[in-house]
Structure 1
Amino acid sequence: MEHNQVMPHMGHDLYLSYVGAETDIIFNKGIDLPGFASYLLLETDKGKEILRGYYSSLIELARKHGVGAILDSATWVANRDRGALISQSSQSLERLNIEAIDIIAQMRKQYADVSIILCAQVGPRGDGYAPKDLMTAQEAESYHNEQIETLSRTDADFICGSTICYPEEAIGIVRSAGRYGKAIAISFTVETDGCLPTGISLKDAILAVDEATDAAAIYFMVNCAHPDHFSRVLVDEPWLQRVKGLVANASRCSHAELDAAETLDDGDPVELGVQLADLRRKFPHISILGGCCGTDMRHMKNIAEQAQRAVS
């Protein structure tokens, strides 16, 4: 099966990605985000400035280290079911999805000297930690068509289905992106044993998605898990060449423990950077590193510094 090894517009061999803003906003800034929906920040000028601050910090970090930056939109839970839980209509979701891409497109224009890629985030239909009512691939495609069609009308370079828990939903997302002519990446999350929340191995999930979609995804990633949880399953086999990114949690806690946590576990920023850099050193084809839940710019700084040393 043929597939794109890297995105054709990637100008660097390392890109930084930061998708940990929600936990930082909630726990460190004391701002409520109902439904974990950072796109709600787009409703106020103050909220937009908060988002711009995260993007600016990431871009400045990338510039300092001579690497690229992937700007991930605040649209991870901006889908119909997750939006309905916080009283968002289909009309408001359409508007906010578009505005979320507009803000990162503006950031790219502002920092024209940095290699920046715009990623439209799509999340799972249900709970990213404890999936229920699993869909078939056909059902997942039908469900995600609504958000992906909206995102396909924006300046996003590609779409990433993140914190996906089972292959059928990933297959539906890949097929939906193909329907609307957008490049698509898939990022699975894993539990402490390195398997997806449904119990399937990362290897088998990736192979299943590729088999069902003729390897249409541009690459796969792992996000929302600590390196201790996934490093053991990253083995030097052909399927691993499809994994291009690792966007890690700061905490070693399980997803169930994180769900129940009332305080933020920000782990060890230096150690996290070392662990991700070690994996990049071991697997040089991995070109995207970053932070997910519990991380902030301290973690991103250490990730950038350690990753740079890994290839110097």
Structure 2
Amino acid sequence: MSVQEVVFGFGAHSGIDDGPELLRMVQQADRDGLDHFSLSDHPYIGERLDAYATIGFLLGRTQRIAGFANVTNLPTRPAPLLARTVTSLSALSGGRVVLGMGAGGLWDRISDMGVDRLSPGAAVDAFEEAIVLIKRLSGGGPPVTFQGLHYQVHEIEPSPVAAPPVWTGSVGRKSLAATGRVADGWIPGHAADWLSERYRTSRPVIDEAAAAAGRDPREIRTVFNFPGRITDRPLPATRDTDGRWIGGSVDQWVEELTDAVLEHGASGFTLFSADHGTQSSASLGRWAGEIAPAVREATAKENG
């Protein structure tokens, strides 16, 4: 089975007081060869750094690693302006940006920001429109006129810079189908992994919608948010009684992730700590220096 190049990253908190430590960890990950870092986007929380301002700052202090919001709070970031943001970041960083996209989840807080509340169905319609519009406002070409239900632009010049890859946090069936039609990757919600019921029932929806739209479903990545502990010694069980991954030794991680790629189609992993927070510097070093290279080597052999 041919597999995509596997990407490895880590997720981090972005509190106001976390800035210096966050910069240090992202720079460490950059030196150690990780592919991406991700920040959450909750603009209604005053103690958080703004996701996109922070991503821009961190990209300016690194050389190779890509950054993305996991996932962008779309209702508070109108698509035409978001297109300008991500293409500008891409131009300034040499393409080191991924556009993580969500339809919006915490609508009580989102509406507190002065944004009109949308029904779940309307929010997904706006989400799909936004992805289409952002791609049309990227990569050059003639001025764009777009008349959607939620977004309208008239004769707007697209950026000459290509749109970054779009990875979504789709959960519901309608949103999953939109991912299949217009996105480039999928991040399963609630840190669900390849052995979960959520993955088994959700990924086929993406694949069917992609095929119906004339796309190759294999081109749509599955990138897992994956919390767990990296231990010095093997654990007697790497999953809990509910089947969720707990963690284990480096060898246990390598075996699990290699199987995820070769047998279940995984093409990326974003590491979080067991409590879904930022990993320690030591664990991040083992993730980048021991686990990721071993999985890359094992899966590259399969590609031959």
Q: TM-score, normalised by structure 1?
A: 0.48
Q: TM-score, normalised by structure 2?
A: 0.49
User: Which has the larger Rg?
Assistant: 2
